[in-house]
Structure 1
């Protein structure tokens, strides 16, 4: 363990970190925060270690924003990233003073009113587009065009159904690091398992038989910027606050897929889809590597996964895992 000088023991002592409660009044309102404290292992008294005060300040700031539902610094950075806009132009577009966003990025806490404007911009590309058009003449032409292009792309990508957004959110929440390629395959398997177990599609979108397996084009457009990297909070922030409309049985399907197909990497899932009839039949007439936009119909997916369900029992993890193992080893 690390050591620090204990002013009570008057010598170097080992210390440990633990969470403690802190009562604090901010703007006349009382709060109870949970912060990190360092304590001498010998006498038990609290000691000061390098960086602890900065850590406590960050802990208090984060919890205060949560208590008051105030936009975070990370969320402001997400706004700048997804709309491809700088801090000063963003300040102007949203109707703030030019140095407002820079101050927020340095740690100043926004008012509730300004926080709501920032949160609305983060949730709604259509709102952001309205603000861009409203303040077009106040920023440079280059900044306007760059941000408008990113905003229009988001609006187009977000034409996906609420059900699809809900499934994407659940997958990202359960698995954490998911690449766009892996997400595409998990959406396909979620649809297949839903058709087999619930006898209905979990979302309305159709996938296409692309070179690397089934792909939902609108989802591809939304996350294509991440390439083979995990999807981070920048794009996920746009959809994670969407109302959940999935039934319990539909949510159970997503859980099941995440706990089975979701433990495999993108390339393994791609290989798996290449061994399955829906993709193979939809690719008939196309040589390897030739692009295709042929739809993999829900009827094809339904027939195949019903058949696999009868053979392997897709109601349980063991049955799906047996199917995956045997299919990958063909």
Structure 2
């Protein structure tokens, strides 16, 4: 018996009550569903009385029966997803490419469509699936902190150890494992094109690092000092590299740039970049030989390569070949 009191219409007074389970039926969209619900009864007269939490329980039980019969993800699973992957409701909705309030509505009890239900169930059951979406759609998130916090959570679930290597470090290792004779000059340009084309196709940048408009084209400063002692010689690499650290989208860009951009020498690639808007606009009035550490803004890179993708009607990453060939012909 509950010690809390509610109003009984028969007694016309606030009374204590008892709660009993009972098999019930309800109708949703013209179909009847059976479920185990609850009834509250006045301890004084025995009549059924209205108790808000009992009503809420019965409503949820009815909808749970509907979800189970129609294979719709349960509310418990929906509520567990943000906690499991350490991400807020709104960021998760954006990550999935939905309206900002969509996931929150599902948390409040709205029924997802069959397609969205399947996505949510798979997210909960398959952390690797969530990890893929997180990497591919991280540009949808409003802060890098949301991405990093969620990535730590999913990596822990997948048993992945935290790597001290940044994304650009991993990309360099992969380039060196795949390219037999890539010089420091060619490496810099390969990184620049990977950054640009990754944004063009997936609307987010692969690296957080900034590049600068040096005399010989775009340069990532720290990478320059790391490999400058090789001068004009190819950088030594390790043939053993586990490319599973990359998503399918990342690898598609890397492999296309390796195949279609890295086939040209560093000197040729310098010529490419010297005719492109990001480097030219950043250098501005500077003479061709003036040393500069001006940063090429990511927005410039993103806008330029997005326009290139549209101009050359690039449907998939292999279409980068057409742009590289055209640039070479124009030299």
TM-score range, shorter chain: 0.3 to 0.5
- Where relative contact order (Cα < 8 A, 6+ residues apart) is larger, the structure is 1
State the TM-score, normalizing by the size of structure 1: 0.47
Calculate the TM-score normalised by the size of structure 2: 0.47
Which has more radius of gyration?
A: 2
